[in-house]
Amino acid sequence: MRLVACLILALAFFALLEKPIKKHATYFYIVTIIISILTIIAPEKGLPFIVDYIVNNILARGTLAGALFILVMVATVCPAAKMRGLLLRTRGEMAIIAALFTLVHNIAYGQYYFVKLFTKTSELDTPKILAAVLSLIMIILLIPLTITSFMVIRKRMNPKKWKSLQKLSYVFYGLLFLHIAMIFSISIFYGHLDTLFDLTVYAVIYVVYLVLRAIKYKKQRVVCIVFVVFICIIYAVLAVFGFRAARKNGEEAVEEQNTQNTVSSDASYKDGTYEGSATGHSGKMTVSVTIANGEITEINIVDTGDDEEYLIDARDVIPEIIEKQSLDVDTVSGATHSSKGIIKAVGKALESAME
């Protein structure tokens, strides 16, 4: 739903400010750069909820940038005449702003994934490797596309050469979908159907776009149909794995409930340090739990496949578990699967510690 909200807000923004954007585009680019820098240097904790949500869920994750690129992509085939006119008139500025916001996403994630890709590839699973490689290719494509989108550059280019270069944008859009699919597949494989729903929104948009393009440009019909089939196959495969994993999670939920009932606040534990593992947002979550004088005194995350962006908030459940000496704590909004993984992993460790 974040993508849909960003699409609506972006459309409203460009509709209301079309004339100022066209007349003073440079100022809007500067503001975009400032917002991007502030997003990158923003503190990990302590921000007001709405600011934190915008920074981490809209800007850092690239949701807004993706929404803007989608609007640029659909501009030529939009069936609504007024909307099509708006998109066509502002797509140059829209593309540049989208590219600038993309820098936030690449820096936020690249400082970990790009480094791992070139130094410790073995620590990344296949979807993350593919997502990182696709991201690098998109950056390479985005540089000339963005530079030539500036009107001062475009006017100095041969129109035919400019149009030929801009055809690379279609390669970029295709890679963007694959990149998103790879990122979402990680949590979908672990049965998180909310992520499958997010992917559904992207898939529907792309399929509708290709259908509209096939209708408008008859010569491209075969190519469009091929890509529709390709998207449907990718989506179907991920959906099958996702529903299978979700069913397995449902079966394990009963066992987890039994664990939580067994590991109650009045349970007796042996002193020592114990490890437990469970599924987090993007993979296995392993924690160590230290028991002293029969009480939980320390909980540490030993190993996890989850991104730091989720763990920052998810760790908040740790002091709550220690304070309550119980697993009966609430998950963290915005990091639900990671915090739930910590709780379940602690439960597994406490099972080993019970006398």
Looking at the fold, whether 86 and 184 belong to one and the same domain comes out as yes
The length of the chain is: 355
Note whether residue 259 is domain-resident.
no
The total domain count for the chain is 2
pTM, rounded to two decimals:
0.83
Q: What is the mean pLDDT of residues 322-328?
A: 82
Mark whether 205 and 277 lie in a shared domain.
no
d(CA 249, CA 132): 28
What's the average model confidence in pLDDT over 184-188?
89
Is pLDDT at 283 greater than 80 in this prediction?
Answer: no
Residue 133 lies in a domain: yes
**Distance (Å, rounded) from C-alpha 86 to C-alpha 10?**
12
Q: Identity (one letter) of the amino acid at 144? A: P
Q: 301 and 203 in one domain?
A: no
Whether 253 maps to a domain, the answer reads: no
| pLDDT for the residue numbered 258 | 56
> pLDDT by residue (tens digit) across 13-22?
999 999 999 9
Q: The domain that contains 307 carries what CATH number?
A: 3.90.1010.20
Secondary structure class of 80 (helix, strand, coil): coil
Answer with the one of 246, 279, 308 that is the final residue of a domain.
Answer: 246
Q: Same domain, yes or no, for 223 and 348?
A: no
Q: Is residue 152 part of a domain?
A: yes
Q: Is the pLDDT of residue 304 over 90?
A: no
Among residues 226, 196, 193, 201, which one has the least CA distance to residue 211? 226
Q: Which residue has the higher pLDDT, 70 or 302?
A: 70
Q: Running DSSP on this structure, what letter comes out for residue 269?
A: B
Q: Residue 337: is its pLDDT beyond 60? A: yes
Residue-wise pLDDT tens digits, 81-126: 999 999 999 999 999 999 999 988 888 888 888 888 899 888 788 8
Q: Same domain for 210 and 329? A: no
Tell me what pLDDT residue 203 has. 96
Other CB atoms within 10 A of residue 234 CB: 17
Maximal CA-CA distance, the chain: 79
Same domain, 228 and 307: no
Q: How many CB atoms within 10 Å of residue 307?
A: 21
Residue 123 in domain: yes
Say which residues have a Cβ less than 8 Å from residue 71's Cβ, sequence separation at least 6.
Answer: 7, 10, 11, 87, 91, 94
Same domain, 13 and 82: yes
**Domain enclosing residue 338, as ranges:** 267-353
Q: Which alpha helices (H) appear in the chain, and where do they start and end?
A: 2-16, 18-23, 25-41, 49-53, 63-74, 81-119, 126-147, 151-154, 159-166, 168-188, 193-216, 221-262, 308-314, 317-324, 336-353
